[in-house]
Structure 1
């Protein structure tokens, strides 16, 4: 097999596909809107001319946001992971996704205002979790399990043995 088949993740929305795609592409580096298709005159799923689907890219990942109506909702069983190089990026993306009605969850997870689950992860967490010293790695993971938005300084402090993960 030599042919390449494009693979995209389809995200189902009631009517908010374009708004969601605009938000996501504005927050995630490398985000870009692609083609937008509209419902035609003879359909039962959307008003003529309304947005049917939006293609977009986040980093190197391709997505399609589909306005399919109220038949399905998002589930936390599937989430989008964004790896961030520093705390400023964690904060910026987290705050942007929470704005307007999103909800924080534990361990770096959140649900945005459209109901989609995200994990906003500092790349430093992966380094700490795979530390050659298993006790150091375990302390970092234990600290992560107590956090909502992940805090790199607190994760590092916990890995280093600080009692509360914040260096105190």
Structure 2
């Protein structure tokens, strides 16, 4: 059974930076993104990692938002990509919303969205056998500038049963 999965920019960009964008495809088969996220991912000025992969991907699909009023309301508190991702998730009644930014996650939770972030994606990938260990991915992500606090890092290692014995 396929799930409806909507994504914000962060997971796609950072997984592309470490050459592991295929983890999303293995987990979800298809990712839906709103137009603002597509623009963030493919804008020429920034040459985002994964831009060509997104442009040429058949499994990442751009979906136009119908209810712009929700986006307008959300964009008072969030950036346009996050606002559109949450609005699209609501509109499509998605099973999963991929989002890492704290403000966006908090608002999405209040709106009843089921959220997963980068750490959750890696934990799910390990659980399903797509990756052997979470630690090297977390370390690579940190090296690319992905903000991951020590507490969450250690919790991810504990959940994945990779924590060091002291």
Whichever structure has more strand as a proportion of its residues is 1
**How does the TM-score come out when normalised to structure 2?**
0.31
**How does the TM-score come out when normalised to structure 1?**
0.31
Max Rg structure: 1
User: With CA pairs under 8 Å and 6+ residues apart, which has the higher RCO, 1 or 2?
Assistant: 2
Whichever structure has more helix as a proportion of its residues is 2
